[in-house]
Amino acid sequence: MSTKKRRDSDAERVALVTGASRGIGRAIALRLAEMVSGVAVLYNRSRKSAEKTAEAVRARGAESEVYSVDLTDEASTAVCIRSAEERFGRIDILVNNVGPLKIVEWDCLETADWEGMWRSNLISAWMCLRAVVPGMRSHGGGRVVNLGYSRVEHLGAFDDIAPYAAAKSALLILTRSAARAEGRHGITVNMVSPGLIKGGALPPNRRIPAGRLGSFAEVADAVAFLVSPEADYITGENLVVAGGWKL
Q: What residues act catalytically? A: 164
Rounded to the nearest 5 percent, the helix, strand and coil shares of the chain are 45, 15, 40
Enumerate residues 6+ apart whose C-beta is below 8 A from 3.
none
Minimal CA–CA distance to 121: which of 27, 21, 18? 18
Burial class (CB in 10 A: 0-12, 13-18, 19+), 67: buried
| CA distance linking residue 151 with residue 144, whole number of Å | 20
Query: Could you tell me if 171 and 125 are in contact, meaning their C-beta atoms sit under 8 angstroms apart?
Result: yes
| CA distance linking residue 118 with residue 204, whole number of Å | 26
| CA distance linking residue 79 with residue 210, whole number of Å | 43
